[in-house]
Structure 1
Amino acid sequence: MSATVAAARPAVIETRALGKVYSPGTQAEVVALRGVDLRIARGDFVAIMGPSGSGKSTLMNLVGCLDTASSGSYECDGIDVSTLDAEELATLRRDKIGFVFQGFNLLPRMSAVDNVAMPLGYARVPVAERHERARQALAAVGLAERGGHLPSELSGGQQQRVAIARALINQPPILLADEPTGALDSKTGEEILALFKRLRDADHTVVLITHDPEVAAHADRTYVMHDGELHEQERT
């Protein structure tokens, strides 16, 4: 998707001169992010690449409202996160951002449906509605017949689909995926990346954190982090 087309759509992630310094003013001071400007529109599929220590995990934590910036600004779906208290930030995370991790993070003694429905418990959604919405979310990722299975009864790819369904259960505009194919074989990884493309086509915004150029190539745009600075990678 061209930058011109993306610019015409509302931004769901917009940072301006975003910076993060750990242990400022001490011998242990680390400048993790330096003046990051990033605009991601609704319906974008963007990859952020970088080696270990480049700052990409710090950026993901700030975009995911898991940490606060030292300088600059971040608007999440039009909301300046610096104006929010801890409770409001937690609500923003719940409503605006779905997280997908390399390790799936499923609870082993709960069925797929119960794992997917879990975030709705925090939102105090009635049990019957929780399970119905969870079943719909599983159907959306191709696991309609696996709702009663425990994680141990599912393949790695199926477990990651359950994790994606859980991330989508509150219909957040943003899906943050941190190395989501890292624990999967290449064929299963391709299936998960194809699922992300379908989610993008359904107007979800997908942000993929990866160190793998082949994985990043599936995204519409790729940014590269190096020493805390972010640059858009030109496509050949």
Structure 2
Amino acid sequence: MSAALRPHEALRTGATHPVIETRALGKVYSAGSEAEVVALKNVDLKIGLGEFVAIMGPSGSGKSTLMNLIGCLDTPTSGVYLCDGVDVATLDAEERAMLRRDKIGFVFQGFNLLSRMSALDNVAMPLSYARVPPAERRRRAAEALAAVGLGERMQHRPSELSGGQQQRVAIARALIQRPPILMADEPTGALDTRTGQEILALFERLRGEGHTIILITHDAEVAEHADRTCVMRDGELHDGVPPATETSA
């Protein structure tokens, strides 16, 4: 495995606790002076080191809200979230940002690449915030792009790449700091079937190389690539439900 993609030792690999654990996690949004929207209700979830888990459900089911909480992009209204055994509620904003930077990589449906930057510079960008020297940033970004099959396209801008190639750039960027946890929100939603299968095969390879993969999807066929599927319905999580019992939305 390329050192550019190998998970670093941010997780305590000898520990017996789950990598991700939520206990009665809840999230309520205010929708005005009186109205409230309950997005999550008492979610209990455990994900082990090196596991590939799909969180599935239609639009509005709460799956993206759960991803935001697990990814430390938002805070819960109630309940407990432990990341590698650490209660995230005990961390201040800077500590949460450091946890997110060191342990969690994000891949989104819309790629979120900067159009005026090359693939190499898009991938290297997170390292600039970590104050990695420019030459080291470019070296590691080149290794990451080569590892996802884009060694010959690193100087191309997003507009010069296919959708699948852009998603590979996004995956390389998510992995550039070697986070042990990779969260992907509908990563194949903007891709054709064949290209989507190639991206899912890349996630399976990364899982085999030691990453913990959390995949958010509404598609049962996509969820079938995971080791385990959890289904969101009306803000509640149903663990262990076979993906074939759900339909796409």
Q: TM-score, normalised by structure 1?
A: 0.93
**8 A contact 2:25–2:44 mirrored in 1:** yes
Which residue of structure 1 aligns with residue 215 of structure 2? 208
Residue identity over aligned pairs, in percent, reads 76
Which residue of structure 2 aligns with residue 139 of structure 1? 146
CA displacement 1:132-155 (0-9 Å, x = unmatched): 111111111111111111111111
Which residue of structure 2 aligns with residue 82 of structure 1? 89
Tell me, in whole angstroms, the C-alpha distance in 1 between the residues paired with 2:48 and 2:37: 30
Which residue of structure 2 aligns with residue 172 of structure 1? 179
**8 A contact 1:12–1:173 mirrored in 2:** no
Shift of 1:122: 0.5
Which residue of structure 2 aligns with residue 3 of structure 1? none
Query: Which letter maps to 1:162?
Result: V
Query: Superposition pairs for residues 115-154 of structure 1, below 5 Å?
Result: 115-154=122-161
CA displacement 1:56-102 (0-9 Å, x = unmatched): 11101100101101111111122211011111111111111111000
**8 A contact 1:193–1:218 mirrored in 2:** yes
Shift of 1:26: 5.2
The answer on 1:43 being equivalent to 2:50 is yes
Give the root-mean-square deviation of aligned CA atoms. 1.6
Tell me, in whole angstroms, the C-alpha distance in 2 between the residues paired with 1:64 and 1:132: 27
Tell me, in whole angstroms, the C-alpha distance in 2 between the residues paired with 1:180 and 1:65: 19
Query: Which letter maps to 1:65?
Result: C
**8 A contact 1:223–1:231 mirrored in 2:** yes
**8 A contact 1:77–1:96 mirrored in 2:** no
The farther-off stretch of 106-115 and 18-27 is 18-27
**8 A contact 2:53–2:215 mirrored in 1:** yes
Tell me, in whole angstroms, the C-alpha distance in 1 between the residues paired with 2:191 and 2:31: 38
- Determine helix, strand or coil for the equivalent of 1:145: coil
Residues 9/138 of structure 1: CA separation in 2 closer, same or farther (3 Å cut): farther
**8 A contact 2:231–2:241 mirrored in 1:** no
Which residue of structure 2 aligns with residue 17 of structure 1? 24
The farther-off stretch of 98-107 and 24-33 is 24-33
The answer on 1:28 being equivalent to 2:35 is yes
- Determine helix, strand or coil for the equivalent of 2:19: strand
Q: TM-score, normalised by structure 2?
A: 0.88
- Residue from 162, 178, 185 that aligns with 2:192: 185
Query: Which letter maps to 2:27?
Result: K
Ranges in structure 2 where 5+ consecutive residues have no aligned partner: 1-14, 245-249
Which residue of structure 2 aligns with residue 4 of structure 1? none
